[in-house]
Amino acid sequence: GDSVTQMQGQVTLSEDDFLFINCTYSTTWYPTLFWYVQYPGEGPQLLLKVTTANNKGISRGFEATYDKRTTSFHLQKASVQESDSAVYYCVLGAGGRALIFGTGTTVSVSP
């Protein structure tokens, strides 16, 4: 079945460090790929969205590129801030089914 894999459970950085979160997906359908971010005490919210028509998404300094060959959708940011501390979910939409969330990556940024 369709699935999403995030291998990094936790990433610890200092301000101005480079952030990179791995995500791979599996589906036999044309995917729509999302990154959601969740802050403490809140529900997940959309960070960016990419379809097969526009293979790159950029939002709030974050960037993700959809690579069909490697079935990857990694998230990156050149210079993180303490306010970027949150849980980041790679999410797959495909086949007319509900969105499938990855296990999440907790990003902790120290000043």
Partner 1 sequence: DPKIIQKPKYLVAVTGSEKILICEQYLGHNAMYWYRQSAKKPLEFMFSYSYQKLMDNQTASSRFQPQSSKKNHLDLQITALKPDDSATYFCASSQVWASAETLYFGSGTRLTVL
Quick one: 20 or 39, whose CB is closer to partner 1? 39
List Cα–Cα distances, 17 to 9, 14, 35, 78, 87, in angstroms: 18, 6, 20, 7, 17
Minimum gap (Å) between residue 45 Cβ and partner 1: 7
Residue 48: CB atoms within 10 Å: 18
What is the C-alpha to C-alpha distance for residues 109 and 95, in angstroms, rounded to an integer? 36
Window 42-71: residues binding partner 1 (CB under 8 A): 42-46, 49, 51
Give the total of residues touching partner 1 (CB under 8 A): 24
Q: Name the one range near partner 1 by CB under 8 A: 13-21, 58-66, 73-81, 86-94.
A: 86-94
List Cα–Cα distances, 36 to 28, 69, 89, 108, in angstroms: 22, 23, 5, 16
- Residue 104 near partner 1 by CB under 8 A: yes
Footprint of partner 1 on this chain (CB under 8 A)?
29, 32, 34, 41-46, 49, 51, 89, 93-104
